[in-house]
Amino acid sequence: MNVQLEDNTGKRVAVLNSTLTLIKEHGFHGAPMSLIAKHAGVAAGTIYHYFDSKETLILELYVHVKDKLALAISAGDDPEKPYKDRFFNLMINQFNFYVENEDSLFFLEQYMSSPFAKNFPENDSQLFADKVITLFQYGIDNAYFRNIDSRLLAPTIKGTLVAAATFQLSGQIVFSKEDIIEVISVIWDGIKRQ
Amino acid sequence: MNVQLEDNTGKRVAVLNSTLTLIKEHGFHGAPMSLIAKHAGVAAGTIYHYFDSKETLILELYVHVKDKLALAISAGDDPEKPYKDRFFNLMINQFNFYVENEDSLFFLEQYMSSPFAKNFPENDSQLFADKVITLFQYGIDNAYFRNIDSRLLAPTIKGTLVAAATFQLSGQIVFSKEDIIEVISVIWDGIKRQ
DNA sequence: TGCAACCGAATGAACGTTCAATTAGAAGAT
DNA sequence: ATCTTCTAATTGAACGTTCATTCGGTTGCA
């Protein structure tokens, strides 16, 4: 099965979490293997017991984070409810995940705009595809959305949510429940079939 | 005056352009000073005649690119025209700039999601503030937009355009003029006062 | 007893930066 | 015009540091 989803107390996960924290604090540059090891309470050599190289460490961290994101996003999804409700629930969950996991948000953004994403597009979370992409596809197939290319929808939506979450995390404002609904309405009004 | 805007044939600009190209091709990591020097047809030491360090090189490259972006975006802006027309012109220009300057788009995205943007938020293009931010502020002041925090507008819009441009650059599709209008309509319908 | 987990000092490559030396060009003097 | 002087521009080898990775050895559990 998927190694990332079990053994959450082991050194493997400690290394992943330390990498995430250090990248958030100092960027890709400021996260040398020696520091990751020290932060994780592990010897430098031990990291190489779990990961072939720093590159694979980053690649596997991406899937690890994206898996967590997928689980958080799809929480409370109820196929019985109207599609708009399901969509809003998904968006709210996504916003909350970003706000509550700043390190994950920062890492995902940096990973996505790095050569990693272009060189290894096949390296992605299966869980995310199953839980999230599926719901989008349902909306497309059933014509809830306006007639734009489906592959434009996801990045469009993500851009807005990330902007809002980043904005709140910068400490300038705390969005109320109503504010978040308003932001998501911007997305919904933009992409829904008019 | 602004050094970046004059002397466009000198070695300073050659270094900036080579840095841009190499970062686009190999990321921040794959652009060592020695390679930048070779690519620019310049000795390693010469770079330090124009830039204090690699860090300031990146910081100044950011302003340099943002200046070019500001000029491209505001091309053909006519204060006499209706606001919606001006807005659409701005958006179309921005989309075209991204598509025609993939290296700039890639660099801007990577810079924005790096520690640079957080550590030096004061390091930005004056030209961009004058030409672009001003027009947005006008739309906010005159209530063309729905009542969301103004600082959310820019990143929201940018997210969508970047998504579309990246999508076209991935080679999967070439947007027609009408397609672009459709994408911008998604933005406009989302943020306009309903 | 065997094997996987773990350690951390050692290694060597890569990198940003420095600097003593050289060249180019402009300004001034003759 | 020619020579002199001065400064800015340029060079690239050398330096010192940092970093990812290796490896011989140790621990602990089955």
**What CATH number is given to the structural domain containing B31?**
1.10.10.60
CA distance to A42, B94, B122, per residue, from B59 (Å): 35, 22, 11
Whole-number distance in Å between B116 CA and D20 C1': 24
Contact call for B186 and A156, based on CB within 8 A: yes
- The answer on B139 and B127 residing in a single domain is yes
For residue B96, give the amino acid letter: N
Say if residue A3's pLDDT is above 80. Answer: no
**What is the pLDDT averaged over residues B162-180?**
88
Q: Residue A9 has what pLDDT? A: 64
Look at residues A75, A63, A73, A81 and name the one whose alpha carbon lies nearest to residue A19.
A63
Asked which of B51, B76, B91 is the last residue of a domain, the reply is B51
Query: Which residues have a Cβ under 8 Å from the Cβ of B26 and sit 6 or more positions away?
Result: A115
- The answer on B155 and B61 residing in a single domain is yes
| pLDDT grade for A7, boundaries at 50, 70 and 90 | low
- The answer on B148 and B99 residing in a single domain is yes
| pLDDT grade for A8, boundaries at 50, 70 and 90 | low
CA–CA separation, B89 vs A11, rounded Å?
A: 54
- The answer on B44 and B60 residing in a single domain is no
Rounded (10°) CA dihedral A96, A97, A99, A101: 160
- The answer on B145 and B65 residing in a single domain is yes
Say if residue B2's pLDDT is above 90. Answer: no
**CB B11 within 7 Å, strand D:** yes
Q: Provide the terminal-to-terminal Cα distance of chain B, rounded to the nearest Å.
A: 44
Say if residue A148's pLDDT is above 50. Answer: yes
How many folded domains does chain A comprise? 2
Summarised one tens digit per residue, pLDDT across range A61-94 is 999 999 999 999 999 999 999 999 999 999 999 9
- The answer on B174 and B125 residing in a single domain is yes
Say if residue B18's pLDDT is above 60. Answer: yes
For residue A8, give the amino acid letter: N
Phi, psi of B192 (to 5 degrees): -70, 155
- The answer on A28 and A97 residing in a single domain is no
- The answer on B123 and B139 residing in a single domain is yes
- The answer on A46 and A69 residing in a single domain is no
B113 to chain A: which residues are within 8 Å by CB?
A: 106, 109-110, 112-113
Asked which of B21, B36, B51 is the last residue of a domain, the reply is B51
Q: Which domain holds residue A43?
A: 1-51
- The answer on A137 and A65 residing in a single domain is yes
**What CATH number is given to the structural domain containing A97?**
1.10.357.10
CA–CA separation, A123 vs A117, rounded Å?
A: 8
Asked which of B32, B51, B70 is the last residue of a domain, the reply is B51
Whole-number distance in Å between A67 CA and D22 C1': 32
- The answer on A45 and A63 residing in a single domain is no
Angle, helices B177-191 vs B83-100, to 10°: value is 130
Tell me the average pLDDT of chain B.
90
A114 to chain B: which residues are within 8 Å by CB?
A: 27-28, 110
- The answer on A163 and A77 residing in a single domain is yes
Look at residues B33, B116, B107, B99 and name the one whose alpha carbon lies nearest to residue B66.
B107
